[in-house]
Amino acid sequence: MSLPAATRRQQLRLGGALAVGATSLMLGGAARAGWSLWPKKTPRALEVQPMRSVVWQDFLGVNAQLQWFSPEVARMQVGRLKALGLNWVRLALHWMLIEPEAGKLQLDATDRMMSLVKQSGLHSVTYVVGSPRFASSAPAGADYADKFPPTDPGVFAQRMQALARRYSNVDVWQVWNEPNIPAFWQPRIDPEGYGRLLQPAVAALRQAVPDKPIAMAGMAYYSQMAGREGLMLDAMGKLGAYQLKLIACYHPYTAEPEGADDGSRDLLTHVPFLNKGLRAYGARQIWATEWGWSSYDGPVEEQPLVGEDGQAGHTLKRLALMATQDFDRIFLFTLADLDDPRVGPRDKRYGLLRANGQPKPVYTALQRFLSICGPRLDPAAAPMRIEGGVPAGLVSINWKRADGKQVWMAWAHEPMSVSLPAVKSGTWHQPLSGTQRDVKATDGKGLALDVGKDLQILVC
């Protein structure tokens, strides 16, 4: 989701259950076309039990395009990021831009970005993508040579090695981006071809920076492959890629925070099965290196229009869900909106900040969310007990804060009232609006709360 207007994505969506065996992942059903309407019936309840503790500054990072901004605005962006208490950024280096002609490097903007990241004490994962015309396998006259892999993977490996030596502050190097969709891999999706690019790049990086982890490309969506059956992450496992001890990455973009827009709430079906399969292949770390929503106002391009308030609401709910899953690190897309003619309307508006560095509603909501949660959350001993059980349409997540207090996150498909028998008092937070109120049980039966469609947090 990082560069030119020409790099529009082909929408890929799951049409059936993701079936995961001990060592394989298969795509069930045919991909659905178009956006469906919300179903009339209320979706199932989600009572989600967190899998592990979360330390936000280590778990949550943000993609950033700092080299595209003036030094003053870039510094402002980094200051806003650090004000959230976050320490990780994901950076993109576009080979076709930094070396448009063989041997003629244009690295001034990249040097400034890397210097700023280093001076700010940020950790970074940096990927390299996009073949310049001199190295591209694109046929003569192709409009976008950068979408094609390089003719000689060895040349790409040499460039990655040189960049790794130049930018020693990069913590993790990532090899390419989204090779499972046409926007980044032409003329056809080819796991074996990506493997031929990956192996020499890994060898070159291990020679240059032997102590640095290496990440496989972040695969779009759940790694479905455009134009062919199966999942790219599974195909790479069958090719032995995980024996290279790489970080496995994918980009779980969906229409709604809970998953597809048909009410199936399939995020918590697909993610656990996909991650289980990756662990079975031997993946030591699993990262979601992109996810998020654009606040664009059209024309409609793949993502439904949600506006700035919808972007904020969706982001908090998805963050609450992803924190419960088997991810080692996740990266929001992206830090700031882009004001660049090379970028399409949708891709311009994914930012937490406006292009001038000022906060959007999503930034303020995220800041409130992290403040309420505190720096660390641990799984609660048990789910929050709800009178009569968890009702259909409710999402319920229970954590324990570092100070010992419970942190109950909840939202509903439609507004509803619930009673918490074991809770007598607490503070009911609305991170989107920034309001809060103290609440107490009055009937001796437990705390009664009205749960709305947006994420709310009870600290008790």
All CATH 2.60.40 domain ranges of the chain, comma separated, are 380-459
- pLDDT at site 4: 34
Both structure tokens of 267 = 């995020």
pLDDT for the residue 282: 97
Distance of alpha carbon 59 from its chain centroid, rounded? Answer: 11
Q: Is the pLDDT of residue 24 over 50?
A: no
Virtual torsion, Cα 415, 417, 420, 423, nearest 10 deg:
90
At 214 the pLDDT is 98
The gap from C-alpha 332 to its chain's centroid, in whole angstroms, comes to 5
Which pLDDT does position 39 carry in this prediction? 43
Residue type (1 letter), 218: G
The answer to whether 119 and 111 are in contact (CB under 8 A) is no
The highest-level CATH class for domain 380-459 is mainly beta
- pTM of the full predicted structure? 0.92
Task: Give SS3 for 238.
Answer: helix
Summarize pLDDT for 225-243 with one digit per residue, the tens.
999 999 999 999 999 999 9
Distances in Å between the alpha carbon of 81 and those of 4, 85, 221, 322? 24, 7, 25, 20
Query: What integer pLDDT is reported at residue 226 of this predicted model?
Result: 93
SS percent in the chain: helix, strand, coil, step 5: 30, 25, 45
Residue 141 makes CB contacts below 8 A (sequence gap 6+) with none
- Tens digit of each residue's pLDDT (9 = 90 or more) over 377-427: 999 999 999 999 999 999 999 999 999 999 999 999 999 999 999 999 999
Question: Tell me, which fold does domain 49-376 have in CATH?
Answer: TIM Barrel (3.20.20)
Sort 322 into a burial class: Cβ within 10 Å, 0-12 / 13-18 / 19+: buried
Distance in angstroms (rounded) separating the CA atoms of residues 96 and 29: 37
Q: pLDDT band for 263, please (50, 70, 90 cuts).
A: confident
Residue 40: is its pLDDT beyond 80?
no
Q: Residues, the chain, total? A: 460
In tens, the pLDDT along 97-151 reads 999 999 999 999 999 999 999 999 999 999 999 999 999 999 998 999 999 999 9
Domain with CATH 3.20.20.80 in the chain: 49-376
DSSP code, position 100: S
Angstrom distance (rounded) from CA 91 to CA 126? 5
Q: Say how far residue 171 (Cα) sits from the centre of its chain.
A: 18
Whether the per-residue pLDDT at 30 is higher than 60: the answer is: no
Q: How far apart are CA 64 and CA 78, in angstroms?
A: 9
Q: Taken in order 125, 70, 103, 145, is the CA torsion positive or negative?
A: positive
> 3-state class of 146 per DSSP?
helix
State whether residue 304 is helix, strand or coil.
coil
Which residues, in sequence order, are CB contacts of 358 under 8 Å at separation 6+? none
Q: Single out the residue of 60, 65, 61 nearest to residue 94, CA to CA.
A: 65
Residue-averaged pLDDT of the chain = 91
